[in-house]
Amino acid sequence: MHRLLMHNPIAIATLWILAYVVICLFPLLVALLYPAPAGRSFWVEFSVALGFIGLAMMVLQFVLTARVNRIEASFGIDILIQFHRFSSLAAFAMVVVHPIILFIHEPTTLDLLNFLQAPLRAQLATIATLAFLVMVVTTIWRRPLNIPYEPWRLLHTLLAVLAVGLGFGHAMLVGNYLSLFWQAVLWSGLVLVALWLIVYVRLVKPWMMTKRPYFVEEVVVQRGDVHTLALRPYGHDGFTFKPGQFAWLTLGVNPVHMREHPFSMSSCADQSDRIEFGIKALGDFTRRIKDVKPGTKAYLDGPYGVFTTESYWDSAGFVLIAGGIGITPILSMITTAITRQDDRPFLLIYAIKTWGDATYREELEAMKSQLDLTIVYVLREGHEGWGGETGYVDKDLLDRYIPLHRGSRHYFICAAPVMMDAVETALLDLEVPVTNVHMEHFNLA
């Protein structure tokens, strides 16, 4: 049974989903093992149930963002982050609806909103809810509010700990369902696990990373306002990764300072002594890459991601679709295939604004003689004399180039969200099996 699960990723992913649901509902089920206090209506009990489930989901947010390798390998960290966002909103909705039901059904509870005169349990609930609200607002509108990534991440962590800790304190002080010792121990265990994950991710893991430093070997200018950042391990052998994966990069400071950013590796996956990242100048951190000096200390947390051709060894070939800087993980796939003497066909559809924006153009053209590689450039703005494709990667263009037997290939898409959504829809319209379509998102924060 154990061996079967190890080789069945769908079964493993299903088990993780079941575990999530069970943990969310288990504290509620435990609370219901004993009769509710007399005289409480259905709506009061329903409100309590929402509060318990919301609190359990808040605790599990720490697990989703802890980069647990076994969980991440089943879904991919981008999917986990997306689920973290949506489940956080669901948990917040439950936390807010919990008191609203009480206010409507028992209007006298509105007195608890008088913060200065309210009992401690109500004060804790108010502060926890406000912390949760600020966390949600600053996350959804971080860019419009112009909150830099590093301060936001620190604030996000502090608010999350505050919301969960005070929410747990509120439940303990109310006491209707946590009056028994073992019930309190159960919830205390969940909260302690969440706090340990915070300590591990923010302190223990960064300390371990300081024992495996890297140094910047060089920064190479590329087309399209992109720079290749090349790192070499210092005092260790580096790490191997699968082509298409990414790592979190901390540059020039201690990793405890939380200035880490996710970037896909662009180099060959079998070359651990030199790891390269293609970084486009899009924000404050990425615009400073060109100024990084050789010898600068760096740290890597990785590899992560399931966006890799290595998982599909039985595929007849691959269709790689990149937009702009989305070429970075694709380049790693191609260079690794060359190193491994892969004889399968590779089709690269590469969308860029202009011919001058085609990052790694010369390298890609040279690779055509080393691999069964076909490259289709799609220019948004074709220059005079350009005889290739122009416009967008749409259904008609894909229909002209992808294999007739759609299910014989696996399709990897890395581009801006709008392009990925359009390409995914077009591929499904062309009867490409959904299980053969794989996407990598840029923004994980």
Domain residue ranges of the chain, discontinuous segments joined by +: 2-205, 214-304, 309-440
Question: Which of 45-54, 183-192, 235-244, 368-377 shows the lowest per-residue confidence on average (mean pLDDT)?
Answer: 183-192
Nearest by Cα to 81 from 139, 168, 149: 139
**Burial class of 162 by CB neighbour count within 10 A (0 to 12, 13 to 18, 19+):** middle
Question: Which of 7-11, 173-177, 231-235, 381-385 shows the lowest per-residue confidence on average (mean pLDDT)?
Answer: 7-11
Backbone angle region of 368, left / alpha / beta, with phi > 0 → left and psi within -120 to 50 → alpha: alpha
Distance between CA 284 and CA 86 in Å, rounded? 27
Q: Which residues of 5-15 are buried (b: 16+ CB within 10 A; e: fewer)?
A: eeeeeeebeee
Average of per-residue pLDDT values in the chain: 87
Give this prediction's pTM.
Answer: 0.79
pLDDT score of 3 more than 50: no
**3-class DSSP state of 32:** coil
Question: Which of 117-131, 179-193, 259-273, 320-334 shows the lowest per-residue confidence on average (mean pLDDT)?
Answer: 179-193
Domain 309-440: top CATH class: alpha beta
Q: Average pLDDT, stretch 119-126?
A: 93
Single-letter code of the amino acid located at 421? D
Taking the CA of residue 151 as centre, how many other CA atoms within 13 Å lie in the half-sphere pointing to its CB? 7
CATH 2.40.110.10 is the classification of domain 214-304: no
Question: Which of 65-74, 141-150, 161-170, 181-190 shows the lowest per-residue confidence on average (mean pLDDT)?
Answer: 181-190
Nearest by Cα to 224 from 319, 364, 327: 327
301 Cβ neighbours under 8 A, 6+ residues apart: 67, 205, 209, 247, 248, 250, 255, 260
Are 266 and 276 in contact, with CB atoms under 8 Å apart? Answer: yes
Are 325 and 224 in contact, with CB atoms under 8 Å apart? Answer: yes
**pLDDT tens for each residue of 186-208:** 777 878 888 888 888 878 888 88
